Each structure stands twice: as structure tokens, then as C-alpha cells.
Structure 1
Amino acid sequence: MLYHLYELNQAALTPARAAADAYRLLFRNPLNPAAYTPMGRSAAAVLELFERTTRRYKKPEWGIKSIEVGGRKVAVHERTLISKPFCNLVHFERNVSAWRRRRDPKVLVVAPLAGHYPTLLRGTVRDLLPDHEVYVTEWQDARFVPRAAGPFDLDDYIDYIIDFLRFFRGNVHIMAVCQPTVPVFAAVSLMEGMNDPAVPRSMILMAGPIDTRENPTAVNEFAKGRSLNWFRHNVITQVPWPYPGMMRLVYPGFLQLSGFMGMNLDRHITAHRELFHNLIRGDGDSADKHREFYDEFLAVMDLTAEFYLQTIETVFLEHRLPKGTMVHRNKRVDPAQIQRVGLMTVEGEKDDISGLGQTKAAQDLCKSLPSNMREHYVQAGVGHYGVFNGKRFRAEIAPRIRDFIKTHQRRRGIWARAFGLAA
């Protein structure tokens, strides 16, 4: 009933939102004398805040139309290469020469399936595009996937990653941001155990929960303090009519958003208060920055119940990966099998979601990997989102990732030529 009550509330607020938006436009109309008065600007600001805080945000667009490559502006087009019920593999195709496309390393960015849309990595993708052929996993909102498509759990997620890697036949570097560090690490471990030639050239794990026993955060403590049955009975609900996924059991995005907001409630309240004052002052640039951030932050998607519960149990409650007890379709996941894939781990000094050491734990689990194929980096002064987005990522983290990828692009090429394989 929880989801049905939420939808009922959204429907009940629709007329009020429409009225608020109409009156907001009235008070901002340059032909209305009240638009130039403090009272008119205050009224418009209040109405905008009401409309924005009660709206259900849709999936944002990537909006990457062009980038600068080699000193010139080139167009970028999104192209879906593989379409699966719960995820599409999307290529950000740059309008560059065929020679450049062959030369630049291919990078598969695995976006989080943790409540936000993959577009949360827009800045990450944009910063990688000048020097790489970038591909992204575009996860689908579970409420729009019909029940006929079947279930989707953590095992299916790992299968998707393996399928996508095999599409590149070994000529790719894989980057996992936050949540997917565990399934990506598991997928590469399984492929190495099978001696699969399609393993990636390198693997970059960023701000992820490989071992949540290391420096547990408030998120980790919340999960650890509850049983799996608590999560099953308190946060799982059915998708209501008229969504295509009607009657599918999900962990709804609006509950995840409540958790996100609750972690830093004072900060969000302050941000909206500043928006109110900026609107009154006419500070359009600051107001636009607020809108841009919250249009992304407040857009959330549903996760299938089986995926969410299996992740909670495997990663946060039983720590199966670091303990060596994680199993994928009756096969044990053994990171010690990794020998051919370069490993880079990246953490943020002030990360309050994946604490320091949680991602670095992957380094200790790769017992067979030579030291010259490893790198660990901690970015000073950044929190969780700063690890993969923003000025510090662009200026300090991205160049290190670029150099690491180039090193392993060359290393695999030499290794492949020596054994007579395709580079």
C-alpha cells in the first residue's frame, strides 16, 4: 500500500502544483508591475519552491552534445549498442576520425544502480570523452519494466557485466563507480577463473563498498543494525497501476531519496533557503546552479526487490566478497584468480557513504596480481560525489585514471602480440 499512497499523494498535489506554476509565471511576467516589487518576487519564489519540492522528477537527459578533442569542438551522439530488459549499453560516439577512434582506449563506465539515474555520472563521462571512447551502462527504472521480463537480482547484474565485457573482446577498460564495484569485481574474478579472453585490460574501482567492515559509515551502520527481514517487510512494496511494471516488487526510489535527504537534511534545507533568497535578489546564476543540481539529485528510480535484498545481504550484512564466501550461480567468486587485469582503486578522504579503506580492500583480495599492475589513490578534501565528479575529479583524479589506462593499454598490447592474440 505504501507505493499506492505515494501515488495518491502525488495525484492530489497535481492541481496545486499546476496552480503554483501558473501564478509563478504571472508574478514573473515582465508586463506585470508586481514582478518588480519585493512582494511579487517573494511570491514567485515561494511558488517555485512549492512546485519544485512537491514535483516528481523525470529521468534527466545526458545533454552531452559536443566536447573539445585535440583543440577542436566535435559533436557527440548517443547510440544504444545492446538493449536488455533492465539495462542498455550506450556508446557516446564522438565525431572524430576512424584513426582516433581506434587509437583512443575504450572505457566501459558502469553506473550505479542505487536509486539515481546513470546521468548522475554526466560529469564523469564528459571529462573522459576527450581521450577515450566511452560506453555507459544505462540501467532501467524497474517500475517501467513489465513483470513478463522476469526477475533481476545481483547474479543477473553480474551476468550483464560479463555479457557487456565479452562484447568488447578484451579491448576495454572498465570503471565502476560506487555500488557496482562489487558486481564488477566479482564479474572480472569469475572471468579470470574461467580464463576468459574477454577480461578487460584494467579495472578502476571508485568509492565502492568492497568491504564495509572498514571504517563503517552511517549508511553501513544503519544496514548492519537491521535484519534482512526488516528490509523485506519495511521498504519493499508493489509498483501500482498504471506503470508497465505493475505488481513488480521493488525498493522504490522515493524511499531511497528520503534516506539521501535525511543524511544531510540541514544542508538541503539551507540550500533551498538560499534558493529562495537568490530568487528574490534576482541572482539567476546561483538559482540555475541549484536547479541543475537538484533536478539530478531528486530524480530517482526503483530497484527490483530481489536485487536490493540480495545486495543488502551479500554486501552489507554478510560481507561475503571479502570473506571469500560470495557465490555466483553456484560458483565461488575468488578475486585471487585476477592476474591479467590492472587494478586501480580510488577513494575520497571525506567519503561519508563508502568509508576510507572499503574500496582499497580490493587490493588485498587480489593476491595474485603483480605490484606493478596496482595503484591506489586517496583524493584529499572530497566526499563521495567528489570522487567521480567536479573540479577535483577533473583536475586531479581524471588525469591519474587516464595515465593508468594508457599504461595498461600498452601492457596488454605487448602481451597480446607476444602470444599472437588480438590486441
Structure 2
Amino acid sequence: MLYTLYEAGYYACTPLRYAALAARDFWSSPLNPAADTALGRRLYASSDLFANLTRRYGKPDWKVDSVQIDGHIVRVRATEVWSSPWCKLTHFARDMADMRRAGRRELEPAVLIAAPLSGHYATLLRGTVEGFLQDHEVYITEWSNARDVPVMEGSFDFHDYIDQIRLMLRQMGPRPHVVAVCQPGPAVLAAAALMAEDDEECRPASMTFMGSPIDARLSPTVTNKLAEEKPFAWFKSNMIYTVPGPYPGVGRRVYPGFVQLASFMSMNLEKHQDAHFRYLQQLMAGDGDSADKHLEFYDEYLAALDLTEEFYLQTVDVVFQRYLLPKGELEHDGRRVRPELITDIGLLTVEGENDDISGIGQTQAAHDLCSGLPAELKEDYVQRTVGHYGVFNGKRFREEIYPRVRAFIRRTDMAFDKRRAAA
């Protein structure tokens, strides 16, 4: 019922939104002699803010058309190379002629960035992609919005996520590298453990976990405590709703993106209110640059997708309530997941000192689980002064975190080259 009421509210606001858009265009028109008056700027700013607060935020564009490599501009084209109803694998192909002009003539390591399936689109990792494009062939998981997947396609749960990761790694060829950002850490580690046990040719050469809840029992945050305090039945009763028409997934039970977004914003409500008030003041003052930065951030932040009931509830149960992976009790297709059997996959963990989503130690727990790995294939790094988002985006990521990940990937490849030569 809530989903239907939400949609009804959106459509009920449509006439007011169109009126606000018309007012915004009228009071910003250069043909309007009163546009540059204090009253005109106030009316323009108010109508623009109302239109933005009531509009639909769809999947943002990647806007990754080029990357600078060694002082040269290299063109980039996002290409879908594999897909299922639940995900598509996107390759950011760099122009080879531009790469040669930049002095890059050898094939560079392939990296799969496992984007979180936790509400926001993969485009939230735009900065992460741009960083890795400097030195790697970059692939990323783009998960589907559950409301757009017809019920006839079946269900999608935590174990399907593991299977999809394995399929995409196989698509990339022998020994790619994988980087799990936040939520997918446990599923990616499980996929790597299963592939290692099966001695698959396409098992990862290295795995990097960034702010991931490998063991959510450690340094619990507000998010972790909520999952612990509420019984499992509470999440099923209060967080799951049915997709209404006219979406293709009508009838599917989901954890709606707008519900998760409301949860996120309620944690820092005053901060978001202040940001929108500043935006209003910036428009009235004619500060277009600052207003554009506000819009750029919220175009990404307010774009949220739905998760299937099965995936959301299993993640709460497996990762945040029963802690099956760190306790050695996670089973997949009737097999126990055994990270201790990983012997030749490099492991790098990255955490943020001020992370309020995945506390210090939750990601580091992967080292204890991967007890079969030699010390030279393990590395841990804690970035000072950054929170959760800063672990995979922003200045600290570009200047301090990414260079360490790049060096680790290179060192891992060199170690495997020596092993192959010795064999």
C-alpha cells in the first residue's frame, strides 16, 4: 500500500511541478525585465527548489567520456559486454590509439569493480572508475532496479549475487582482479572462495575490499545496531512492499529505494535541510557554480533503486544478524564456503578511520578468514580522516588510497609471474 501511496503522491504533485517549472522559466528568462530583481530571483529560486524536490530522480549518466593518462586525454566508451535480467557488466573501453599516444602499449590488468546493491546506482562509483581507468581495463557491475524486472524472471537473492559475480569473473578471462566496494564484500569473498576451491582458471588474482562488512560484529555502527536490535520479522513487516503498475515488475515484493533513501536522510536530516536552504540562498544570490555542485550531488544521492525482497532480507539475516561468513557457517548450493582454502589470491583491505557505516575491523576480518594465504599476499590499510564515502571517492582516494591499490595489484601480478616462471 505504501508504494501505491508514494506513486499517487508523485502524480498528484505533477500539476504543481509543471506550474513551478513554468514559473522558474518565466523568472529566469532574459526577456523578463524583472528577472534580475530581488523578488524575481526569490520567485525563481523557490520554484526551482520545489520542482527539484518533487521530480523523479532516474539513473544518472556515467559522464565518463575521457580520462587523463600521463598528461594525455584518452577517450573512453562504456560498453555492455554481458548481461542478465539482474545485472549488466559494463566495460569502460579506452581508445587504443589514444593509449598508444600516451605511451601505453601493453595490455593492462583487468579489474572488476563490484558495486554495492544497497540503494544507489553504480554511478555513485564514478570517481572510483575514473581512478582505476588510469592503469587498468575497468569493468563494473550495474545492478538492475528490481521494479523494472518482470516477476516471470524469478527471484534474486544473496546467493544469486554470488553466482552473478562468478559469471562475470569468468566473462573477463583468466585471473582478473576484483574490487568490492562496501556491501558486496561478503558475497565477493564467498565467490572467490568457491572459485579457489574449484581451482577455476578465472578465479581472481587479487581481491580488494573497501569499507566492507565482512564481520559486522566488530566496531558496530548505527546501521549494525539497528540490524541487531530489530527482529528479522520486523524488517519483513516494515520494509517490504509490492511494486504497483505501470512498472514492468508490478507485483514483485521489494525493499523500495525511496524507503531506504528516507532512512539515509533521517540519519542526517538537519544536514540535508541546511544544504537545501543554502541552495535556495545561492540561487537568490546568483551563485550558479555552487548551486550546480549542489544539484550534481543530489542528482546522484536521490537516485535510488529497489532491491528484491529475497536479497534484502537474506543480506540482513546472513550478514548483519547471523554473521554466517565469519562464523564459518555460510553455505552456498549445499557447500560450506571456506575462505581458508584461498591460497593464491592477493588480499587487500581498505578502511576509513571515520567510517560510520562499516566500522574499523569489519573489513580487516577478511585476513583472519583467509588463513591459507601467505603474508606476502596480504595487506591492510586504514585511511586517516575519511568516512565511508571517502574510502572509494574524493581527494584522499585519488591521492592516497588508489596508488596503494594500484601498487598491490602490480605486486600481486609480479608474484604470480614469478611463480609461473618457476613452475
- TM-score scaled by length of structure 1: 0.97
- Secondary structure of the 2:326 match is helix
Query: Per-residue displacement from partner, 1:283-309 (whole Å, max 9, x unpaired)?
Result: 111111100000000000000100000
Among 332, 338, 343, the alignment partner of 1:328 is: 332
Map of 1:252 onto structure 2: 256
Unaligned stretches of 5+ residues in structure 1:
none
The answer on 1:347 being equivalent to 2:356 is: no
Contact kept, 8 Å, 1:110 with 1:136, in 2: the verdict is yes
Structure 2 Cα separation of the partners of residues 170 and 217 of structure 1:
38
Contact kept, 8 Å, 2:173 with 2:202, in 1: the verdict is yes
Contact kept, 8 Å, 2:115 with 2:141, in 1: the verdict is yes
- Cα deviation, residue 108, structure 1: 0.5
Map of 2:155 onto structure 1: 151
Map of 1:404 onto structure 2: 408
Contact kept, 8 Å, 1:101 with 1:133, in 2: the verdict is no
Query: Per-residue displacement from partner, 1:244-287 (whole Å, max 9, x unpaired)?
Result: 11101110000010011011111111111111111111111111
Map of 2:224 onto structure 1: 220
Structure 1 Cα separation of the partners of residues 46 and 422 of structure 2:
68
- Cα deviation, residue 101, structure 1: 6.8
Question: Are residues 240 and 102 of structure 1, via their aligned partners in 2, closer, same or farther at CA, if it must alter by over 3 Å?
Answer: farther
Q: Mean Cα displacement is larger for which, 10-19 or 30-39? A: 30-39
- Cα deviation, residue 102, structure 1: 4.5
Contact kept, 8 Å, 1:80 with 1:91, in 2: the verdict is yes
The answer on 1:13 being equivalent to 2:17 is: no
Structure 2 Cα separation of the partners of residues 224 and 408 of structure 1:
37
Map of 1:283 onto structure 2: 287
Map of 1:94 onto structure 2: 94
- Cα deviation, residue 195, structure 1: 1.9
Contact kept, 8 Å, 2:82 with 2:171, in 1: the verdict is no
Structure 1 Cα separation of the partners of residues 352 and 113 of structure 2:
19
Map of 2:37 onto structure 1: 37
Query: Per-residue displacement from partner, 1:150-190 (whole Å, max 9, x unpaired)?
Result: 11001110001111111233331100000111100110011
Name the Cα RMSD after superposition: 1.2
Query: Per-residue displacement from partner, 1:198-222 (whole Å, max 9, x unpaired)?
Result: 2111000000111111111111111
The answer on 1:319 being equivalent to 2:323 is: yes
Contact kept, 8 Å, 1:206 with 1:345, in 2: the verdict is yes
Structure 1 Cα separation of the partners of residues 243 and 420 of structure 2:
49
Counterpart amino acid of residue 229 in structure 1: A
- TM-score scaled by length of structure 2: 0.97
Among 172, 176, 182, the alignment partner of 2:176 is: 172
Counterpart amino acid of residue 78 in structure 2: E
The answer on 1:60 being equivalent to 2:60 is: yes
Map of 2:167 onto structure 1: 163
User: What is the 5 A alignment of 1:337-376?
Assistant: 337-376=341-380
- Cα deviation, residue 347, structure 1: 0.5
- Cα deviation, residue 416, structure 1: 3.0
- Cα deviation, residue 229, structure 1: 1.1
Contact kept, 8 Å, 1:106 with 1:132, in 2: the verdict is yes
Counterpart amino acid of residue 55 in structure 2: R
Counterpart amino acid of residue 207 in structure 2: M
The answer on 1:389 being equivalent to 2:393 is: yes
Map of 1:49 onto structure 2: 49
Structure 2 Cα separation of the partners of residues 306 and 299 of structure 1:
22
The answer on 1:307 being equivalent to 2:311 is: yes
Map of 1:203 onto structure 2: 207
Counterpart amino acid of residue 211 in structure 2: A
- Secondary structure of the 1:301 match is coil
Question: Are residues 164 and 101 of structure 1, via their aligned partners in 2, closer, same or farther at CA, if it must alter by over 3 Å?
Answer: farther
Contact kept, 8 Å, 2:147 with 2:249, in 1: the verdict is yes
Structure 2 Cα separation of the partners of residues 171 and 336 of structure 1:
19
- Secondary structure of the 1:355 match is coil
Structure 1 Cα separation of the partners of residues 162 and 33 of structure 2:
60
Structure 2 Cα separation of the partners of residues 263 and 220 of structure 1:
14
- Secondary structure of the 1:376 match is strand
The percent of aligned pairs where both chains have the same amino acid is: 52
Among 81, 106, 109, the alignment partner of 2:110 is: 106
- Secondary structure of the 1:5 match is helix
The answer on 1:182 being equivalent to 2:186 is: yes
Counterpart amino acid of residue 178 in structure 1: C
Counterpart amino acid of residue 41 in structure 1: R
Structure 1 Cα separation of the partners of residues 254 and 59 of structure 2:
18
Question: Are residues 350 and 416 of structure 1, via their aligned partners in 2, closer, same or farther at CA, if it must alter by over 3 Å?
Answer: same
Counterpart amino acid of residue 19 in structure 2: A
Counterpart amino acid of residue 340 in structure 2: A
**Number of residue pairs the alignment of both structures matches:** 419
Q: Mean Cα displacement is larger for which, 90-99 or 23-32? A: 90-99
Counterpart amino acid of residue 171 in structure 1: R
Map of 1:265 onto structure 2: 269
